């Protein structure tokens, strides 16, 4: 159930192992809609996502339409810029259009004779014991009962499959919203499709209690997102007129206002989205039903890991299919046992990074610490990988990355009082303390 | 929606203020079923519950069928007993049959011309914006759309009204289960309806990782509940045969086995219940819908406050109706603002007390500390009320009680190392330290 990013990718993995797959999707086939390609929501694809795409042979095709972002560019209130590289050398996260990605996966699925795609199929209910879906065709209005042998719930944060599981005994569930909403806005392309901000970067306007980000599109535009409180002095509630919006943006995001000619219209036409974290357990109902992706672990977008985590679910499941063959109870059981702590850790990390992006990245001390960490990484390769790199450029399980990151943060708290500038890193007492910490960290 | 304990009591409060009330209940009218009166589940009614009942004039009637329990009686593995009074003097919690209580409230509601009771009405859905209920008559199978002006969701931990609210944007929700289930068992009456254990007490068999409790019934029987892990060495999963059950009970609850002739049959016939905590917010949808009782704050039963908290919801709402007249936005808004922190605190307290009942009450040091606290209470009246008394015998908001209790616990942790026996309480240095603590606690 669900032919979004995770559902369409999963169907390819299942078909690759010889299974017959029917994919039911509530919405219409997005390939038949006239979207402006360059303007859909874009997502940051990183190593976990790439690996999962490469597992079905679609990595190269996506790489051609992905824009590498090598660093964060922070814009302060006066338009001054500061920089933070994401990783070493050529490491980057990639801005990819959600629509292009989904279409590519659906095209692949359609070519596979073992996969049937069925659109406009709203799931009204699931009878877990009878193993049937109650489906309503949105075009004809007809209802049908669809039986299944094994159901994969990849129907997103508001999953209908999960809703059925929520009513079973001992199903732990929570949905928790931030007091922040988001608004999508656009930066127009320059003449001849030129990018009016640095193209190969993720742009951040950190403002303490709120922030805006921008990711590049192929057509020279940028997709911006304002993350903003619902209530309070600076909030959606406080911006009620076009004039108020214009004045606010000119005051706090002055360098971007000239690049947003449609600002006022977009601000009021585009919906305000909410930001939810969903946690639940179990993810499996017997060996009949399994939740993956946002259906079992929707997270806030501040680490750029929502899609990557969902794609990694597919990689992990694929490994278990390899390992356990047709032993579905083992596959489902091991999947949720192994993957739940990682999903929980990633949810925490995403919430943690919200603070980092809206507040800490504007702090020179924070940026200095990141530079020092980068030096440590270079000096102690294999013994120090920044938390960000572990999450973004490695396949270390999220829970372990989070644990490592917390331990490293403790070390930095002891080290940083001795460092006032980048050059202090080379002072003998700093080097000595660092060495002792590294030894201890690995003992 | 819902004619359980909170729903039927609330209808009386609303009618008392002149409102026309229709009450829809999923189940059949329990007054028409041939229950054995003395044997239904019993609940511990305490001061908050009594006040709410007295507000609709039903306190006296219930008091006649309530059995006061003045103390906890702890049974150890050899059948030895120890004691812990609940409060001062004649303070008690009261064992009351849920069925008798619900029947009495329904009888009262039925006599009120402003209240219409409708049973066998299953709520299949709520259209919050259209203000309609989708009801199915369980007897005739017919469905009808029932419009409402204002809807009170008192339909319990698995509330259908709340399920509709859960699908609205920014609705925070969690349901969280313990790894423990419960099993109802019975202690038979003695000859001539005599009570075979001390009548006016709540009996506890604390066993560290699990426990059993017993509350007295009017007919001389006791209603027992075993709270027991689902999995593990001592667990429901480990007791698969009547012989295993018998051997286990004889080993760990030897004094009670002779009083339970139906033990083996009951253990396998009675269902294993699960233990859920439900938290959500908001509780109101505009000024149209409000959740009360278990629908908004279901808790585990270990403080005996689930029903009392739901009844207190009715008292609080009644006060707000008094204060704000027909200003429903103010009433609903203030109700949830005021009551949510108390419900959250009570949920924490209930989980906290699980540990106390299954483990700490078996510890002589814990019982000594409780005796000392009781002495402090007597010496400093008005300045020291035990946490248990605040929750059970006062109307101090739960959140404040919990805060006070945590502060007192800190004091006891500093005091108890100086106390090895009850008599030590009178030692000058103990008295001096106590006095200093009390002064500081109130400064």
Chain A positions in Cβ-Cβ contact with residue B176 (cut-off 8 Å): 172, 174
A86: closest CA among A49, A45, A58?
Answer: A45
Report CA torsion sign: B6, B12, B14, B17. negative
Residue pair A137/A121 in contact by the 8 Å Cβ criterion: yes
The DSSP symbol for B383 reads T
DSSP letters spanning B235-303: STTT--SHHHHHHHHHHHSTTTGGG-TTHHHHHHHSPPEEEEEEEEE--EETTTEEE-THHHH---GGG
Per the CB < 8 Å rule, is B170 touching A158? no
Spell out the per-residue pLDDT of chain B, length 443, in tens. Answer: 999 999 999 999 999 999 999 999 999 999 987 654 445 689 999 999 999 999 999 999 999 999 999 999 999 999 999 999 999 888 999 999 999 999 999 999 999 999 999 999 999 999 999 999 999 999 999 999 999 999 999 999 999 999 999 999 999 999 999 999 999 999 999 999 999 999 999 999 999 999 999 999 999 999 999 999 999 999 999 999 999 999 999 999 999 999 999 999 999 999 999 999 999 999 999 999 999 999 999 999 999 999 999 999 999 999 999 999 999 999 999 999 999 999 999 999 999 999 888 888 889 999 999 999 999 999 998 899 999 999 999 999 999 999 999 999 999 999 999 999 999 999 999 999 999 999 887 76
Name the minimum distance, in Å, from the CA of A158 to any CA of chain B. 8
DSSP letters spanning A202-259: EEEEE-SS-EEEEEE-TTS-EEEEEEEESSSSSSTTT--SHHHHHHHHHHHSTTTGGG
Distance CA A348, CA A303 (A): 10
Per the CB < 8 Å rule, is A175 touching B177? no
Q: How many residues does chain B have?
A: 443
Instruction: Say how many C-beta atoms besides its own lie within 10 A of residue A282's C-beta.
Output: 20
Element (H, E) at A24: strand A21-24
How confident is the model at residue B19, as a pLDDT?
97
Which pair of structure tokens corresponds to residue B293?
């009782």
Residue pair A166/A153 in contact by the 8 Å Cβ criterion: no
Nearest CA in chain A to B279: A174
DSSP letters spanning B217-229: -TTS-EEEEEEEE
Map tokens 């189940």 to a residue.
B27
Chain A positions in Cβ-Cβ contact with residue B158 (cut-off 8 Å): 167
Name the minimum distance, in Å, from the CA of A175 to any CA of chain B. 5
Residue A282, preceding bond cis, omega within 30 degrees? yes
A26: closest CA among A177, A148, A137?
Answer: A137
Most distant CA pair in chain B, distance: 76
Torsion, Cα A336 A338 A342 A343, to 10 degrees, reads -10
Per the CB < 8 Å rule, is A174 touching B170? no
With a CB cutoff of 8 Å and minimum separation 6, the contacts of B37 are B97, B99, B100, B218, B219
Cα–Cα separations (whole angstroms), residue B89 to A96, B71, B256, B385 = 72, 11, 29, 14
Chain B positions in Cβ-Cβ contact with residue A175 (cut-off 8 Å): 166, 171-174
- Is B166 touching A (CB cutoff 8 A)? yes
How confident is the model at residue A320, as a pLDDT?
98
Please tell me which of the candidates A170, A175, A274 has its beta carbon nearest to residue B173. Answer: A175
Q: How do beta strands B21-24 and A284-285 pair? A: unpaired
Which pair of structure tokens corresponds to residue A4?
């979004």
Which pair of structure tokens corresponds to residue B161?
């009204």
Per the CB < 8 Å rule, is A173 touching B171? no
The DSSP symbol for A301 reads G
How confident is the model at residue B38, as a pLDDT?
40
Cα–Cα separations (whole angstroms), residue A411 to A377, A394, A433, A439, B384 = 13, 21, 10, 12, 44
Residue pair A335/A77 in contact by the 8 Å Cβ criterion: no
In tens, the pLDDT along A237-278 reads 999 999 999 999 999 999 999 999 999 999 999 999 999 999
Radius of gyration for chain A, computed over Cα atoms and rounded to the nearest angstrom:
23
Radius of gyration for chain B, computed over Cα atoms and rounded to the nearest angstrom:
23
Answer yes or no: CATH 3.50.50.60 is held by domain B5-69+90-170+279-354: yes
How confident is the model at residue B35, as a pLDDT?
56
Per the CB < 8 Å rule, is B171 touching A177? yes
Which pair of structure tokens corresponds to residue A58?
């679609």
Q: Which long-range contacts (CB under 8 A, 24 or more apart) does A162-166 make?
A: A162/A280, A162/A291, A162/A295, A162/A296, A164/A125, A164/A126, A164/A127, A164/A128, A165/A128, A165/A280, A165/A282, A165/A285, A165/A289, A165/A291, A166/A280, A166/B175
Name the minimum distance, in Å, from the CA of B174 to any CA of chain A. 4
Per the CB < 8 Å rule, is B177 touching A172? yes
With a CB cutoff of 8 Å and minimum separation 6, the contacts of B51 are B311, B312, B315, B395
Q: What are phi and psi of B425, to 5 degrees?
A: -55, -35
Please tell me which of the candidates B174, B230, B274 has its beta carbon nearest to residue A173. Answer: B174
How many A/B residue pairs have CB atoms within 8 Å? 34
Name the minimum distance, in Å, from the CA of B439 to any CA of chain A. 39
Residue pair B156/B294 in contact by the 8 Å Cβ criterion: yes
Please tell me which of the candidates B167, B174, B177 has its beta carbon nearest to residue A170. Answer: B177
Q: Would you give the distance in Å from CA A286 to the centre of its chain?
A: 29
Distance CA A375, CA A371 (A): 6
Best of A158, A174, A237 to mutate (most B CBs within 10 Å, chain B): A174
Distance CA B272, CA A243 (A): 62
Q: Would you give the distance in Å from CA A269 to the centre of its chain?
A: 25
> Domain extents for chain B?
5-69+90-170+279-354, 176-274, 363-441
A5-74+81-173+275-354 belongs to which CATH class?
Answer: alpha beta
Q: Would you give the distance in Å from CA B50 to the centre of its chain?
A: 13
Distance CA B197, CA B224 (A): 12
Which pair of structure tokens corresponds to residue B102?
């619900």
Residue pair B157/B299 in contact by the 8 Å Cβ criterion: no
ipTM of the complex: 0.90
Residue pair B291/B162 in contact by the 8 Å Cβ criterion: yes
Chain B positions in Cβ-Cβ contact with residue A172 (cut-off 8 Å): 175-177
- Is A176 touching B (CB cutoff 8 A)? yes
Q: Angle formed by the axes of helices B398-415 and B328-358, to 10°?
A: 30
Map tokens 């609210």 to a residue.
B165
The DSSP symbol for A427 reads S
Task: Provide the β-strand partners of residue B115.
Answer: B21
Cα–Cα separations (whole angstroms), residue A257 to A83, A192, A263, A273, B2 = 21, 20, 8, 22, 54
Residue B164, preceding bond cis, omega within 30 degrees? no
Residues of chain A with pLDDT under 70: 34-40, 443
Chain A positions in Cβ-Cβ contact with residue B175 (cut-off 8 Å): 166, 171-174
Distance CA B100, CA B109 (A): 14
Distance CA A250, CA A342 (A): 41
Q: Exposed (0-12), middle (13-18) or buried (19+): which is B20, by Cβ within 10 Å? A: exposed
The angle subtended at Cα A193 by Cα A187 and Cα A194, nearest 5°, is 75
Per the CB < 8 Å rule, is B174 touching A174? yes
Which pair of structure tokens corresponds to residue B243?
């012989």
Chain B positions in Cβ-Cβ contact with residue A173 (cut-off 8 Å): 173-175
Distance CA B178, CA B299 (A): 11
Distance CA B394, CA B384 (A): 13
- Is A337 touching B (CB cutoff 8 A)? no
Task: Provide the β-strand partners of residue A81.
Answer: A75
């Amino acid at each position: 159930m669900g032919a979004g990013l995770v559902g369409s990718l999963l169907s390819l993995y299942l078909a690759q192992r010889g299974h017959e797959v029917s994919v039911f999707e509530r919405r219409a086939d997005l390939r038949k809609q006239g979207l402006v390609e360059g303007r859909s929501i874009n997502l940051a694809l990183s190593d976990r996502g790439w690996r999962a795409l490469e597992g079905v042979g679609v990595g190269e095709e996506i790489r051609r339409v992905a824009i590498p972002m090598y660093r964060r560019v922070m814009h302060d209130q006066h338009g001054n810029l500061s920089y933070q590289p994401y990783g070493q050398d050529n490491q980057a996260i990639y801005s990819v259009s959600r629509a292009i990605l989904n279409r590519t996966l659906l095209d692949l699925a359609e070519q596979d004779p073992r996969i049937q795609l069925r659109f406009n199929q709203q799931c009204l209910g699931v009878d877990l014991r009878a193993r049937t879906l109650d489906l309503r065709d949105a075009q004809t209005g007809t209802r049908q009962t669809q039986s299944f042998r094994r159901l994969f719930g990849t129907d997103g944060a508001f999953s209908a499959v999960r809703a059925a599981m929520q009513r079973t005994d001992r199903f732990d569930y929570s949905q928790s919203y931030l007091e922040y909403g988001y608004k999508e806005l656009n930066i127009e392309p320059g003449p001849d499709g030129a990018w009016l901000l640095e193209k190969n970067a993720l742009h951040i306007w950190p403002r303490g209690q709120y922030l805006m980000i921008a990711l590049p599109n192929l057509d020279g535009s940028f997709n911006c997102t304002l993350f903003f409180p619902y209530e309070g002095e600076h909030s959606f509630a406080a911006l009620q007129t076009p004039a108020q919006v214009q004045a606010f943006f000119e005051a706090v995001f002055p360098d971007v206002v000239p690049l947003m000619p449609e600002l006022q219209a977009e601000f009021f036409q585009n919906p305000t989205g909410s930001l939810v974290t969903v946690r639940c357990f179990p993810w499996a109902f017997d060996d009949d039903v399994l939740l993956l992706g946002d259906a079992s672990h929707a997270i806030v977008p501040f680490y750029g890991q929502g899609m990557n985590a969902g794609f990694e679910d597919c990689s992990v499941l694929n490994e278990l299919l390899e390992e356990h063959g047709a032993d579905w109870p083992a596959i489902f059981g091991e999947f949720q046992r192994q993957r739940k702590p990682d999903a929980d850790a990633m949810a925490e990390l995403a919430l943690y990074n919200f603070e980092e992006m809206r507040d800490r990245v504007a702090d020179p001390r924070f940026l200095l610490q990141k530079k020092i960490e980068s030096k440590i990484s270079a000096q102690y390769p294999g013994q120090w990988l920044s938390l960000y790199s572990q999450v973004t450029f490695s396949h270390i399980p999220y829970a372990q990355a989070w644990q490592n990151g917390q331990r490293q943060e403790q070390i930095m708290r002891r080290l940083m009082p001795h460092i006032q500038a980048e050059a202090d890193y080379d002072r003998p007492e700093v080097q000595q303390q660092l060495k002792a910490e590294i030894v201890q960290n690995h003992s």
